[in-house]
Structures are given as C-alpha cells and as structure tokens.
Amino acid sequence: MASALLLCMAAAVQPHIVVVLGDDVGYYNMGFTEGNVEAVTPNMDALAKGGVELRRHYVYKFCSPTRSGLMTGRLPIHVNQENPGTDGGGVDLRMAMMPEKLKEVGYSTHHVGKWHLGETFLENVPAMRGFDTSLGYLAGSEDHYTQRLDDNSAVDLWEATSPAYTKNGTYGAFLYTSTMVDLIRTHDPSTPFFLYAAFQNTHFPYEAPEQYLNNSIPEERRVYQAMARILDESIGNLTVALKANNMWDNTLFVYSADNGGASGIEGCASNNYPLRGGKHLDYEGGVRVGAFVNGGYLPEKVRGTRLEGYIHVADWYTTFARLAGYSPSDGGKGVPDVDGLDVWPMISGENLTSPRVEIPLSVAPPSRWREEGFPTGQGLIQGRYKIVTGNLDDGFWMSPQYPNATTQCGQTKNPGCPDGCLFDILADPSEYTDLKSTLPSVFADLKNRLQQLFSEVFQTAWPPNYTQNCISEAEAVNQHRGFSAPRCVLNATIKLTRLNKGIFPSLLNCYEISLYDGSLALPLGRVRADRLSPNHRLPAPLCTPPSPNRIRPIILRTFEKDSSFQARVSAHPPPPRTAVLNMLSTIIAAAAVAALRPPSVPLVVQDPYTSFWSPFDFGYDGFPVRWDGYVVGWNGVAKVDGDACRGWLGQTQCSQNADQVGIKVTATKTTYQMYISGKVMLNVTFRTPSAIEATPDYTMMTLPMSYMDFEVASFDGAAHNITIYFDVTGEATVSNRGNKVAWSRQASTNNTYLSIGNVDQTFASAQGSDDINWGHLNIGYSNADTGVFTTIGANALDVRNAFAEGQPLPGDSSNQRACSDGWPVLAITHTLAVPATGTVTRRMTIGYDQGDTYMQYFGSSLSAYWQHIHGNYITALDYATANSDDINKRCDAFDAKLTSDLTAAGSAKYAEMGALIYRQVTGAMVTTWNSYTSEAWVFMKEISSDGDVSTVDVIYPAAPMIFYYSPEMFRKLLLPVLVYASNGTAPYGNYVPYNLPWAPHHLGHWPVCDLPPNKQEQMPVEETGNLMILINYIVQQQNDTKWLAPFWDVIEMWGKYLPTALPDPGNQMCTDDFEGPSPHNVNLAIKGIVGIAAYSDLLKAKGDSNGAAQAMAIAKQYAQVWVANGTDSVTTDGVHTKLQYDLENTWSQKYNALWDQIFGFGLVPSDLLSSELKFYLTQMNSYGVPLDDRATFTKLDWSMWIAAMAPQEQFIAISDAIYQWANDTPDRVPFSDWTETTNAQHKGFQARPVMGGFWAKMIMEKAKAGRV
C-alpha cells in the first residue's frame, strides 16, 4: 500500500536530482548563513537567496555517519556511527542505497567525489551500490593534489570497480567538477538524472591553488577560505552545465555540509559562528550546517524564503522517494527500517511545519573514539530542547573574526557536560545557558529518552569470520600497483593458477588456489590439478613443495592441454577456507596453458545488424547482446534423463546451471564446453562460415545463417537421453521493443525454419541508428532430424517454465503483438539418445534475412550476394544444410591455418587475438550484388563511432587483414567509393556529383549511400593518401590496372592535389580526429608523401614513366623536408619525430610509415625509423604504447602497425601488452581499438573493423619475402 501510495504521489515528471555535499564546511564559512564578508561564495549565496534556505538542517557530527544517513534514509544510530575502520563502519549490504532505489524507477545515477561508506569489500564501492558511474576516493581524507592517503601509503582514487590509474595528480575539486560537467553535458534530459556530488573541499589537508588565495585574510584561515571559494565555483559550474543542457528547469538542487567545521580539532581555519563547537561534537556547531534547495523544480511561490523547521539529512531519502516514485522501505531484512520523513510538503509550501520533532544526534558513541582521544558524548533534540552529554572538550565559541574567541582557538577551557546539559536551541542557538537546573523534568525526560534509544542502536559491522578472506592493506596496495583497494573477498570466484614449472619441474600439475572478486586475489593454498574432477567433493590433496613464483591468475578460455580454470562461488558471509576447497566440484582435471579471456565472446557475427555476442565468462550469466549491448533474449537449457534443467545460455528458469569448463574461440567458430548433471559432456558451437579463402567463395561467405552444433558424449560411461532447448525473442528485429512482431514457419522438402520479425517491414526505418526494424530472425533445422519439437509465438516465460518444470510446451500463438508483450519466442527442442561410448551430434542454423534490399546506393536497391545465387532464404538454407559438412571442414582448415600463420609470424598470443578479431572484421561488412555492373560489391560499416558507410579512414586500418586473405575482395570494397568519387552515380537513379579535388570520407549513413560532397567530413590529405596507398597495393598484388580505367581521371586529380597540400598539411583533420585538431601533423604528412609515391607506382604500372619519375621526385623531396622539420631537435630520450612540425619535445606514433616499408620506397631513413621504434619502447606502459604525448590512451590498430615495423622482440612486447589488456579489461564489449595504456579500460570504440590492422605484421612479412 505504501509503495502504491508513493507512486501515486510521484510527480508526473520525475525531477533531476543533484545532491551536493561539502566536507567539513564551517557554518560561518559561506556568505549566505551569517553574512561573512571574507567568504567568496557568490554562487551558493545566490542559490540560497533565490531558493529555500534550510536554517535548521541537521547532520551527524562527523563524516561517514552523515553520508550513511543520506544514502539509506536512516538516522545514523540505525546504520552507522563510525568512520569505516577495522571493526565496522559504512553501510550494511542489506540496506538499499538511494541510487539503487532511483535506478528502479528509471534514473541514471552517478557518484563523484568522496565515498567513505565502506571500502574493505568490492561490494562496498559505489558502482556496486547502485551508481551507474563513479569516480572518487573511498577513504575519508587524502591529499588534494596527489590523491595519496594521509599516511602517504597509497593513492586513493577509484573509478567504477577498479583504480583510476591515470586520473590522479589533478587538484581534486577540479577533477571532480570536470567529470560532473561532462556527465551533465552528455546526459539525455529525457531520462531522470541523479548526481551525488561529494566534494573534498573543505576537508583537511588545507590546500588550494595560489590564485584562489586572498592575502588580506589572516594566514590561519586564508587557505581554508580559498577552498570554500573553489567549492562555490564548482557549484556554479554545475548549475551552468545543467542550464546549458536544458535540465535546470526540472532539477531539484540540494546543498548541505556533512558536519560542522573542524574548529579547534584541525587548527583555527574553520568557523561555525554563532554556533558553539564544531566537528566531532553534538553542539550545534558540529551538527547544524548551512543548507539550501534550489532548481527549476522548486515551486515559484517558495523561492527566496527561509525555513526554520527541522530537517535531518536522512529525510532526503524519503523525500526523494515521493518525488521520484520509489518505495523507501527495504521490506525488512534484519536491519532497522528507514527513519527519513517526507519534508517536501514543508519545502514546497504545502505545510508550514516540519513533520520532524525529534532528532537523535548520536547515541552510545563508539569506544574507538574514546581510545583515540576524540571528543565523546551524545545528543538528542526534542522540540525546542536539546540534551548533550559527555566530555565535550572543544565546545567553545568563536567570534565573526576569529581567532578572537571567548577562549583561544584550540586551547580548551570548557568543562563540557559530563553529567549532561540542557539547552533551548530556539531561544539560545549558541548554547550559552545550561537549563538542567531550571527545567529538571525536561532534562530527566530527555535523559530517559537517550537511555531508551541505546537499545535501538544498530552498527554496521563486518560479516562473521571475514578476516579469513582478507589480505593486508599493504598486499592489496601492492596488487593494485600503489593504489588503495578493497582487501577482502565476499562474492568471489575461485581461481587456480598454474605454478611455474620452469622453477620447480616437480610441480607440473600443481596449482595455487585463490579467491577473486574482480579486484583482489586472495591466496588460499596449493592443490594438485590431476586430483580434481567434477564429482570430487572433498578437499583435494595439497601440494607440498614450497610455493614458487606464479604466473598471473587467468580465467579458462579454452579447454586444452595446460589450461587454467575457475569455479564460481558466492556466499554471505564468506565461507572458511575448507569450505572453499569443497566447492571445487565444478572444476575438471586439465593441464595448463594461458588462454585469452575474450572481453566479449562472438556468437553469430554475420554483418553489422546480425552481430551477437556474450559479454560474460559463462554463457548463463546473462542474455547475449548485439555488439552495442542491446539485449537479445536468447535462452539455452538442457536436461538429462528428466533431471532438473541446467542453463547454459541467457537468463534461464533453471535452478542450476551447467558446469561450464571452457570457451574456445577460433576465427569462425566459438564452442562452449560443459558438463550436464555430471552425466554427459556437451559442446555447443556457433559457426559463422566467413572464411576468406584464397579464391573467395562468396556463396559460402555470404550465407545469411550460422551453424549451431550440439555434440554430446557420456561422461559417466552410461547411456542417457538429453533434451536441448533453445529459443529467441524478436528483440533482434526491432529498434523499439514496443513494435509489433509476427512469426511463421517456412519449409522445403528438406528443411524448415521458424521466423520472427517486425510487422512493419519498411527498409531503413531505423537509418541513423544501430538497430534494424526490418527483416526476419530465423531458426532452421533438417526435416530428417528426429526428436524435434518447435513452438512459435508463445510467451517466453510460459515456454521456458514449461520446459523447466517438465510440462508440455505450449502450442503456437497466432496473435501478432508487441515484442515486449510476453516476449513471443521461436523455441525448439532436440531430444537425443547419448550412447555409453562415442558421441552424438545435432546441427541447426540461426540467421537473419534482411529482405530484398541490403544496401541502397544512390537510389538503387542492392540485394545481398546470397540472394543473387539462391533467390530466397529457404533455398539458401537447403544449400547450407546440404553442404554443411564441407563448409565446416573448410572453415576448420581456415581457422587452423590462421592460427598457424599468426603463431609462426608472431606468437600464440598474437594468434589468439587474431582468432577473436577475425569475425569482428568480417561482421562489419556486407557483400551485395550490383545488377548494373553484374559484379559483387562490398560495403563496410563504421561500427560504434559514426555508423557511416564505407568510411575511407576505417577501410584503411582494416585493410591488412583483407589484403592478406584476398586483395580481390578488397578491390570490391573500394568500388562503391571510386564510382561515387568518379561521378558515376547517375545510373543508380540519384545522381550526386562529386566536385571536390580530394577523396571522399564516406558514402552515407548505414545502410543508405546518398551523401553529397558538401556534407562530407573533410579530411583531404588523410583520405586521398589512404586511397592512393590502398589502390597501389591492389595493383601490386594483382599486377593489373585494367579495372582502374573508369577511375584514372579522379586518380590523376588526386595525384595533382597531394603535392599542393604537402609537405605540411596545415590545419587539416586526420583519422585520429577524436583527439581534436593537430595542425602541421607529422604523421599525416608522411601518409600524404607515401601517397604521392604510391601515385608514382600507379603511373608506372599504367606506362607513364615520365609522370612516375616526376611524382617520385616530389615524394623524395618532400620526405627530406619531412625528416628535417619533423625530427625532434631538443629531445633527450633518443632521436624521434615530433607530433607537429612546430612543436618540439613532442612525439606520436608514425604508423603511416608502414606503407613506406611495405612498398620499399625508402622515404623514411632506416636509421631514423630504427631510432623512432626504439623510442616507443621508452614510452610504453603496462597495456601498450600511447598514441602520442597528449594522453595515455592508444589505438590498438595503429599500435600493431608500429609493432609490425619493429624487431621481433618489440613486436612481441607490444602484442603481449595488448593481449594482457584484452585479458584484463573490465569493459565487456567486443574488442575495442581505443584503449587506455595505464589501466585496462576502453575509451569508447568497440567492435570496429579497424582491428583488421592486427594483420599489418602479416603483410609486412609478405613484403620482406618479396611478395608485395
């Protein structure tokens, strides 16, 4: 009832909510409270004056309890009265925090700044407590500039679920403000927004940039007042950002301090005049703080007013519940319920009085404060009276211009209130007069009430036996490269790490066991891997030799000889060590080799719309997603002999999951390896037949379906029956889940497929997005298969529950309805008899038919190549099924050769990355049939960055992989671009003249090519140099220029343009435009110069020797200028080139020099190139070489280009660093090409085909062998 009432009371439009918390801000240190003339706080003053000033806003007397009350809606006596420490503190994990509640009702939630609500377990950090994003520090205090803890032991700066390795070193308020402004600037105002802005200012240590200091203020308070000024400036910047993004009119903006200023405790800097005392005391100066509300959501009638009614910081939780529409109650979980009261009626002017008449300030103070010498005491407010008790040593008064105080600041002569004091805080807000003798009955009543409250105190504490699963703070810092981090494991993964057999050969099968929660590895002991098995229920024998050095813990990705593996365990509280060892029942015996943990696992990756991945280590951890994270509701389950079902893919209805023991990824295939019920072994394989053979077989490569194979064998030596269930929803076919979908069956003599798709089949109805609104998702199977049952259109939960419960599956539904209306599914089951020995297999298909038009090219609809061959989907399915054995055999051979080739040229790790990347590249392309020219055309999508069609500076980095396997396929990729640039679009129905003297950037927005030249993103030298180089490589490989006949005019125009724009490209944009402008770019210049030399090659191939000589002469002349002006003359760390011609002591990756090496032009002197490559090693970080000196991030495609030019040991070093990034990144998206080098995060790109650049090494090896 309460929940329903709150939802009814919620506003029609949920407000954006911004809560700003200042740290240790004195009551008198802002202008709006008491008119302090030294306070430069114009923004806060204006917001308080123009909003509602809260004159009696109460908090706890120090940091963490106030924050605990704000985040949980509980009075601190019911959640936490300690700063997080050895024995407790923070917020009990059973209590729902405010952001968790806000997320339930659709809010985007963000934390920036101080946390101080628990840091010992990873589960304590903000990202685990409901915040979508988080950047800040976990402890209570640190250096403002370095972010190092007060004892200098570690850096405390945390982002999401890992250290923010590259972001420390900036004054905290500036870092946090810029982060918050970016969050606001990029937010969609139509989504409700919550920001918890927990500033570090004005907490000790007192530090501020010099420009904020007012030297006319006495020294003891000069820096503090500057810190308050910075806080005010930051608040001003937040309001400006909210207004600029059209959010302010619907924003509720709340400001408060977390406690009073630390007067007398941390010097004389802060001032709480006219209130008595300060931080750590229950006097008004410690618990009553300056506060206000503003924002466009605030009713007009109350703006410019002051409220005297009581508000406790815990009341915001319940007040926001009313406004946002969530229920504030936790529902009872063995912890006190929410205390917060709804104060919106008072704030909004509906009522004149506050619902709060009692405020327990602190009760039964923690003994640790007494032990450490902090002031003690407790306090309670009832009505106008307040009782405080205890040894309140620093409870003195300060004057407006301190330190001229009643008692000198920091020198206590006040006896405190050991027996208790009573004050009338309405008549005597400065607490001068103790009334306990005058009003003894009131004093007795309040003292008795304090005694009653003692029995209600709840203090967050650690789980039982938590120390068994902890390491020391020093060990945690060491594991996190000098950053403070959680040091205990609560929700954990068991990891086994192969011990280094090179040091102790006798430990060949010995593994170290550790608990791992995504941040922290906690060693538990050593175990013999050959004594572990899926049904092993007892602790395995421990290894006895001493522990040698260990390799880095990794997760099993491939079930082969020498593998490492993991089991999952979750427990509240954490289990003792013997219990952990008993949970090794899901681990199988295997020998160990490191294998890559994919950031995301490719499943069905056919084209830009049919690109589905699993971003999890275990298939059953969640539903598969499209490359952009859009969920597609696929569900996979299995049953053996009628046992309880086991989930293996998606979020299933099974109470248990399969024992997944491995994932193996090759170029065209992904296999999940698992045990079901301890009885059978099941391999589930997704195969996309995208192998680019020496002579590309477009009939195979363009098939609109992938194979899905099930291979089953008995594990226990007995015969069994297995039923495998699989279903899909219609989510992959709509951009809006509210769209109606329809379903059907189609059949031929040999095969049947189930189909689901949008009712509205309008082509390109989702153009400009990454969604598709047309076409059909299909599941196919052979009519010859026995034991098959299918149903279509039934509600997902009905079908899934029926299978899980052993009931007959519901029949077909004939009602078209919204995709989200019960989530209608295509469902299929296969029942197989599993022999006691040997294997049984079953093959089905899953694919997507986009209809008659796959691309639109300047008015003409281009069908898919497979449609040209087969006509329709059922015929293509018949072909795929009839030839499936041959196709899979050829794909296996291709996969094996890819692995062999890349291993021989680089390393096994390089080959693993290549296998993972391969489908990412092929899945960004579509092969169509051009009926006008009667040939295949290939288009490439610029996935995840702009969504453009055939972006030239995306094709360029992707080129090495396609070149390596098929220059002819690459030629077909260039044809649509060259026809457009050569003014050849008229025959297609929509003539768009191309009138620029340089090459185009792209053709349009996927899947429509229609872009006029004046709408291009102009990159003249970039794109012209790219195309010259790419065309030249094709001609060199094919020894043929006849295909260029229609394009010679435009090629010659480009050949004339490049010399006019070089050797200095001026202020032109390059492909790395995400970094912003880089005028006089040295790397762009060498691309253009190599482009001129490539033009010379083309002229020579055409037979124009004179023109070729002239072009080459220009290229060599410009190369000399490039060397003379591009080499850094002031560097002290080795000869290298500059970022810009005009900037000394700078550098950037010169990846464009790769083509000079491949073509053998000799434009870049070998000694300079050698020195350049050596220099990169000096700049290398844990996860690679930065792109240039402006930031620590890099581009992985370009990094592999520079690695390809380097000696083998440097190639391995760079390649291994990237491998480690892929293995460590917490960002579970398809392989990113824009990544950090100091941590394992990605910067924003994902699934892009530019990763074909990883094959730069392979075409470089071909060049060395003279095969260019």
Q: Which residues are catalytic?
A: 63, 116
DSSP state letter for 300? G
Quick one: which of 464, 526, 521, 460 has its CA closest to 488? 521
How many angstroms from the chain centroid is the CA of residue 1076? Answer: 23
Distance from C-alpha of 878 to C-alpha of 761, rounded to nearest angstrom: 25
Rounded alpha-carbon distances, angstroms, from residue 499 to 90, 316, 509, 524, 1036:
38, 53, 8, 14, 50
Whether the Cβ atoms of residue 134 and residue 112 lie closer than 8 Å to each other = yes
Whether the Cβ atoms of residue 938 and residue 972 lie closer than 8 Å to each other = yes
Whether the Cβ atoms of residue 586 and residue 534 lie closer than 8 Å to each other = yes
Whether the Cβ atoms of residue 302 and residue 49 lie closer than 8 Å to each other = no
β partners of residue 687: 669, 707
Residue length of the chain: 1268
Distance from C-alpha of 873 to C-alpha of 1051, rounded to nearest angstrom: 40
Q: Please give the angle made by the CA atoms of 717, 719 and 720, to the nearest 5 degrees.
A: 120
Helix (H) or strand (E) holding 114: strand 108-114
Quick one: which of 975, 1065, 977, 1064 has its CA closest to 1020? 1065
Distance from C-alpha of 121 to C-alpha of 540, rounded to nearest angstrom: 28
Distance from C-alpha of 226 to C-alpha of 210, rounded to nearest angstrom: 9
Whether the Cβ atoms of residue 184 and residue 242 lie closer than 8 Å to each other = yes
Quick one: which of 331, 941, 397 has its CA closest to 626? 941
Contacts of residue 144, Cβ cutoff 8 Å, sequence gap at least 6: 171, 172, 173, 200, 201, 205, 207, 208
C-beta atoms surrounding 538 within 10 Å? 11
Name the residue type at position 551: I
Distance from C-alpha of 788 to C-alpha of 683, rounded to nearest angstrom: 19
C-beta atoms surrounding 786 within 10 Å? 10
Distance from C-alpha of 956 to C-alpha of 1151, rounded to nearest angstrom: 12
Whether the Cβ atoms of residue 1092 and residue 1116 lie closer than 8 Å to each other = no
Strand order in the sheet with 566-570: 521-528, 510-516, 491-498, 566-570
Distance from C-alpha of 848 to C-alpha of 867, rounded to nearest angstrom: 13
DSSP output for 546-614: PP--BPPP------SSS---EEEEE-SSPPPHHHHHHTGGG------------SSEEEEESSSSSEEEE
Alpha helices in 325-472 (DSSP H): 344-347, 367-371, 440-454
Alpha helices in 245-314 (DSSP H): 284-287
Residue 105: Cβ-neighbour burial (10 angstroms; 0-12, 13-18, 19+): middle
Residue 437 DSSP SS3: coil
How many angstroms from the chain centroid is the CA of residue 931? Answer: 43
Contacts of residue 839, Cβ cutoff 8 Å, sequence gap at least 6: 711, 712, 713
